[in-house]
Structures are given as C-alpha cells and as structure tokens.
Structure 1
Amino acid sequence: MNIFRLAADMTHLASILVLLLKIHTIKSCAGISLKTQELYAIVFVTRYLDLFSSHVSLYNTFMKMIFLASSFSILWYMRRHKIVRRSYNKDQDTFRHFVLMIPCMLLALFVHEKFNFKVVMWTFSLYLEAVAILPQLVLLQRTRNIDNLTGQYVFLLGAYRALYILNWMYRYFTEPHYIHWIVWVSGLVQTLIYADFFYYYLKSWRNNSKLELPS
C-alpha cells in the first residue's frame, strides 16, 4: 500500500458513490450506459474469483466486496427499479458491448502470466476493464446532454486509473523485480481512452460552462 494506490482506490470508490447518489437520490440514470455497467460487473466477477479462497488483507477483501455489491446494485436499479429504469436512454445506448468480450477473452487466452483458470480470468478482467468505458463515452457523445453528476462519475472513473499508473511507477522504483507488463499496458490503454473526455471536462470546468462532447 502507498499513497498513490490509496488515492486511486478512494477515487474509484468516489466514482461509484457519485453514480449511486445520482441514481438513488435523483431517481434517474439518464446519460448512464447500462452496457458499460454490465461490463464492469463482469470485470469484477472475473477478477475477484479468489475472494473467498485467498486472503490478502481485510482492506483488500472489503474493497472487493464493495465493488461487487455496488456494481450489482447499479444493475438492479437500472433494470428493475420502476422509476429509475424509465430514465434509461435505451434507444441511444446501442453499443454492441458483448463484442468487446470476445477479443479480450482471446487475448487473455494467449497473453497471460500463467495458464490456469483464475489467472486467465484475472487477465481477461484487465483487458475488458480497459475498454469497458467505450459504451459510456459513445452514449455521452450521442446524448450531448451531460449533467454534472454524470460528468463527475466518468471523470473520477478515469482519474482512478491514471492514479494507478503513478502507483505502478512508485512500486517500480521502490520494489525490486516489480514488473507487470500486462497490467501496465492495459492500464495505459484505458487511460488513453479517457484522454478526449478529460480534455473537454477540464475545459468546461475552467470556463465554468456545461460539459459537451463533440459528435
């Protein structure tokens, strides 16, 4: 644990809390991609297969349970809650998200650190997380109507991964033999996907104007 990882974890947690705040208090999921939320649920399930078989720390176990529980709570709200689901932009959230899973799984089968079920699934979760935000970004480009909470959610989600890059850099210089190319490359790809959104988010924040993405 170091300050960069802690900051990244807290930023990730903050992004989820912002989204739950929007859904629970405003009773709206307008501008939120169900496709992205489904992909994140798959990411967490495949990454945390060792939840009950491998204990790292109480903090580690607690965070895993929080991410799993919050992910499925968001899915329940968007799919089952009578009021929330009516605000879902179904007609515009049409990204074929499951198509992303096929190349990620194939890549995990051939590019991994060790060929066993848990490691391949963990690797698959890294590849899938790198591209899971794409349906959300496409939806925001289509709607062109991004409220503050949705913008904050996506920004925090991207910032968490950027902070993890600082964590990896810190560990590389402070821990001997710390090299994880798969983690690093997938994390870098994920951060680069957010680059365009970061630009327009920070521009709107600086100009105190409404966030809009180019079509």
Structure 2
Amino acid sequence: MNAFRFAGDMTHLLSIVVLLLKIYTMKSCAGISLKTQELYALVFATRYVDLFTDFISLYNTVLKVIFLASSFSIVWYIRSHKAVRRSYDKEQDTFRHYFLVILCFILALLIHDKFSVREVLWTFSLYLEAVAILPQLVLLQRTKNVDNLTGNYVFLLGAYRGLYILNWIYRLMTEKNYQQWITWVSGVVQTALYADFFYYYIKSWKNSERLHLPA
C-alpha cells in the first residue's frame, strides 16, 4: 500500500467521523441527505459481499466493517432517532435516487470485467459510488447556507477520491500491467462532481466565512 492509498482511506474515514460527530453529538442531520446515505449503504453492502469469504488483511477487513456499520447506523439514526429525524429536511431532499440505482445496475450488467454475481455487484458499487453524492450536492444547492461540519464532510469525501486518483497514477507508474478502466472512469466522474463545491469551499475557507453556494 502506498501513501496516497493510505491517505485516501484515512480521509474517507475522517469524513465519516465528521458526519457521526454532527449526528450523534449535535443530534442533528440538518443539511445531510438521507438519500445519499442510503446510496452509500448500498454501495458498501454490494462491494463487500466477500467480507466473510476472502481475507486480504486485517487492515482491509477492519475498514470494510467500519464502512458497513457506520453507513447503516447513519441511515438508521436519521430514520429512527426522534431528535435527529426532526432536523431532517425531507421537503428539500427529494432527489429520486432510485433512478441512479436502476441506471447503475443496468450499466453494471452491460459493462463489467467478468459476468458473475460478485463481479457485477462490485462494478455496480463503483458506478453507484460515482454518483451517490448527487442528492447531497443538490440538497446543499437548494439550502444555500452550509454549516461547517456538513461542508467539511462533503469536502473530505471529495478529497478522499482525489487522493485515490493519485494512488492510481502512482500504481500505473510503478506496477506492470496495472489497468482498471472501470474504476478509473468511475473515480474521475465522482471527483468531477465535486469541482464546483470545492471552488466555493476553498473560497469560503480563505475568507474565513460560512460556505454559501450560488443560486
């Protein structure tokens, strides 16, 4: 494992810590899209079907368990905890995320490396992760004002994917026959979706002001 991969994993983990801090400590999910959290739970559930069959390393297994447990607990908390549920902006979080699920599954059936249940589910999880942030970005665009924890959460998610792109570039330069076109394209699409958010996040950080997204 190279430094870019490790930094990407830790940034991803930190994004979840920030989100959990907001939900569990502040008892609020204001500005957080339940639709995006449900998509991430589905991403991890379909990606880590090998959790109990293939052991790669303790590090790999621990991260899988953390991502699975945290994603489903976040969805459960937003849906079931009374105080948190009251802060959820259901009227603004209306993105029809099931369309993304259907389209990504069809794409996984058509474009994959190998036609098998596990491979199709893995490919589906890559496609779905690439667009899972869309409901969250749409929600932020509608609400305009973004609190610091929510802004930091979204920024860290984008930074994690950016670090993974550096990891792929490094592996391409140092490993023979390293080629993962589906992973690469999905990752680039996902990172591109954050571009506009990154611009306004960095601008607000430089000016030491609250993040405001344009209409």
Q: Offset at 1:37? A: 0.2
Asked if 1:2 is matched to 2:18, the reply is: no
The one-letter code of the counterpart of 2:135 is: P
Q: Offset at 1:103? A: 1.3
Cα distance in structure 2, aligned partners of 1:55 and 1:19: 29
Q: Which residue of 2 aligns with 1:142?
A: 142
Unaligned runs of 5+ in 2: none
Q: Which residue of 2 aligns with 1:124?
A: 124
Q: Which residue of 1 aligns with 2:30?
A: 30
Q: Offset at 1:146? A: 0.7
Q: Offset at 1:210? A: 1.2
Unaligned runs of 5+ in 1: none
Counterpart of 2:146 in 1: which secondary structure?
coil
Q: Offset at 1:3? A: 0.3
The one-letter code of the counterpart of 1:140 is: L
The one-letter code of the counterpart of 1:39 is: L
Q: Which residue of 1 aligns with 2:211?
A: 211
Cα distance in structure 1, aligned partners of 2:213 and 2:167: 30
The one-letter code of the counterpart of 2:33 is: S
For residues 156-175 of structure 1, what are the structure 2 equivalents within 5 Å?
A: 156-175=156-175
Q: Offset at 1:92? A: 0.4
State the TM-score, normalizing by the size of structure 2.
0.99
Q: Which residue of 2 aligns with 1:179?
A: 179
Cα distance in structure 2, aligned partners of 1:177 and 1:158: 28
Counterpart of 1:167 in 2: which secondary structure?
helix
Cα distance in structure 1, aligned partners of 2:210 and 2:88: 21
| Cα-to-partner distance string for 1:20-61 (whole Å, 9 max, x where unaligned) | 000011100000000000000000000000000111101000
Question: Displaced runs of 4+ in structure 1, greater than 4 A?
Answer: none
| Cα-to-partner distance string for 1:118-159 (whole Å, 9 max, x where unaligned) | 000000000000000000000001111210000000000010
The one-letter code of the counterpart of 2:13 is: L
For residues 97-108 of structure 1, what are the structure 2 equivalents within 5 Å?
A: 97-108=97-108
Cα distance in structure 2, aligned partners of 1:154 and 1:3: 22
Counterpart of 1:83 in 2: which secondary structure?
helix
Cα distance in structure 2, aligned partners of 1:84 and 1:110: 40
Q: Which residue of 2 aligns with 1:154?
A: 154
Once the two structures are overlaid, the 10-residue window that deviates more, 100-109 or 13-22, is 100-109
Counterpart of 2:212 in 1: which secondary structure?
coil
Asked if 1:41 is matched to 2:52, the reply is: no
How large is the Cα RMSD of the aligned pairs? 0.5
Cα distance in structure 2, aligned partners of 1:125 and 1:60: 17
Aligned length: 215
Cα distance in structure 2, aligned partners of 1:84 and 1:144: 21
